[in-house]
Amino acid sequence: MAERLKDRFGAEVPARIAEMIGAVHPAFDRKGFVAVTLDGYEPLELMDRGRAIARTLKVFLPGDYPEAIDILVRSLGPEMNGSDNFGMTPFLYLPHTIFVADNGIDHFEPSMRAQYELTKRFTAEFSVRTFLDKRQEETLERLRMWASDANVHVRRLVSEGTRPRLPWAQRLRAFQADPAPVLELLELLKDDPELYVRRSVANNLNDIGKDHPGLLIETVRRWSVDAPEERQRLIRHALRSAVKRGEADAIGAMGYSAAEGIRVGSAEIMPAKAQMGDIVRIGFSLVNEGEAAQSLLVDFAVHFVKANGMARPKVFKLTSVSLAPGETAQFSKALRLDDLTTRKHYPGLHRIDAMVNGVAMQVGEFVLGQ
Sign of torsion over alpha carbons 36, 42, 44, 50: positive
Give the pLDDT confidence score for residue 13 in this predicted structure.
96
pLDDT bracket for residue 90 (50, 70, 90): confident
Mean confidence (pLDDT) of the chain? 95
Say whether both 243 and 291 belong to one domain. no
The answer to whether residues 352 and 300 touch, using CB atoms and an 8 Å cutoff, is yes
At residue 83, the pLDDT reads: 59
What are 166-183's pLDDT values in tens digits? 998 999 999 999 999 999
Which CATH number fits the domain that encloses residue 307? Answer: 2.60.40.10
Check whether 88 has a pLDDT greater than 70.
no
> Which range marks the domain in which residue 316 is found?
262-368
Same domain? For 130 and 196 the reply is yes
pLDDT bucket at 3, cuts 50 / 70 / 90: low
- Return the closest-CA partner of residue 100 out of 57, 151, 145: 57
Nearest Cα to Cα of residue 315 among 360, 252, 269, 274: 360
One domain, residues 211 and 283: no
Q: What is the pLDDT of residue 87?
A: 55
Q: What confidence score (pLDDT) does residue 266 get?
A: 95
Do 226 and 96 belong together in one domain?
yes
Residues 87 and 158 placed together within one structural domain of the fold = yes
Same domain, 119 and 153: yes
pLDDT of residue 79: 94
Is residue 115 within 8 A of residue 88, CB to CB? The reply is no
Examine the fold and report which residue of 253, 285, 305 is the final residue of a domain before the chain moves on: 253
Whether residue 240 sits in one domain with residue 273: no
pTM: 0.87
pLDDT class of 292 with cuts at 50, 70, 90: very high
Q: DSSP alpha helices (H): ranges in the chain?
A: 12-24, 30-38, 46-60, 65-74, 94-103, 108-119, 128-134, 136-146, 152-160, 173-177, 180-189, 195-211, 213-224, 229-238, 240-244, 248-253
Query: How many domains does the chain contain in total?
Result: 2
Q: Are residues 197 and 108 in the same domain?
A: yes
Span of 88-92, 117-121, 172-176, 363-367 with lowest mean pLDDT:
88-92
Say if residue 168 is exposed, middle or buried (CB neighbours under 10 Å; 0-12, 13-18, 19+): exposed
Q: Are residues 159 and 225 in the same domain?
A: yes
Point out the domain boundary residue: 200, 218, 253: 253
Of 198, 228, 253, which one is at a domain's C-terminal end?
253
Q: Are 83 and 102 found together in one domain?
A: yes
Residue type, 253: A
| Residue 341 banded pLDDT, cuts 50, 70, 90 | confident
Question: Are 271 and 249 part of one and the same domain?
Answer: no
- The answer to whether residues 335 and 237 belong to one domain is no
The share of the chain scoring above pLDDT 70, in percent, equals: 97
CATH number at residue 116: 1.25.40.290
pLDDT for position 26: 98
